[in-house]
Amino acid sequence: MNGMEIKPYSACRVLIVDDEPMSRLLLESILESVFHCTVVESGKDAISNCEECLPDLVLLDMNMPDINGLEVCATLKASPTTSQIPVIFVTSTMDIESENACWEVGASDFVMKPVNASTLTHRVKTHLQNKLRTEFLEMMTFHDQLTGLYNRMYLTKEIPLLIKQVARDKGMVGAIMIDIDYFKLFNDHYGHLEGDNCLKKVAQIIADTVKRPKDAVIRFGGEEFLVILPYIDYQGIKLVANQLVKAVRQAGIVHEKGISGYVSISAGYAVWKAADVVDEDSASLIEDADISLFEAKERGRNQAKG
């Protein structure tokens, strides 16, 4: 569930971009035993592949007929979605001007044709190591180690940036506060190891139910979770909150001291104009959802209120 490990090279996706069939075949034959390779033949295909599939590294021919390698690299680096993908140029000519141009568009490295197989493999490994370590550190910084969900650091550092973007788009943002019902009784009855397993199961259910890419599921503390949903209205957040309550209950996690013998959650939700959240900060929105959570508990738990 929590993905707290650095993935192996065999799981790393390398995108090979070259308009010459023999070059594509050669590069793929060198790398395919170590990495998962995808091959495309044009700059346009490279950009669309990166946007859709997010490879771990791009091996890019400098000279192509439709969009040259420098333009492809500049386009990737200009997009927040693809800017962190390392790009290694493969080229047969490299004068000072071309070399400087590579660095200026954000390339990580370059290799010369004819390609030395060992050099190419090691350079790809080196840049993948750097990327994977950076991602791992980010994972450790912004994710809860037990559940793999986002943590309070992510809420503090990254969520305000998301809300500002929604405010610029004149959208709304919602929050759902979630509490596992009678969780202290669960811990007392089954022990803390089973309590941790229960937290992980509920976290997985929440993450599986909240599916949009920009939605954020955060372990708020203890048995409390927070869901931040950008670009949503009241009916939308009400629907999601009730889906979450239903999904946890239907999972059938046994809890002898719980409601009807199973684990359940209570949820409180609120939705504001994102601009108002920016003005007052996200704590006010969360507090609004927390008040509704208290109401859900007061009314018997295993339900959502907003």
The pair phi, psi for residue 228, each rounded to 5°, is: -105, 125
- Neighbour-count burial for 88-117, b at 16+ CB within 10 Å, e otherwise: bbbbeeeeeeeeebbeebbbbebbebebee
Report the distance separating Cα 276 and Cα 168, nearest Å. Answer: 12
256 is catalytic: no
Please state, in angstroms and rounded to a whole number, the distance separating the CA atoms of residues 283 and 281: 6
**Does residue 59 contact residue 29 with C-beta atoms inside 8 Å?**
no
Can you count the helices (H) and strands (E) in the chain?
A: 12, 12
- Per DSSP, 10 falls in state G
CA distance 301 to 263: 11
Of 223, 256, 280, 298, the catalytic one is 223
Catalytic residue positions, numbered: 223
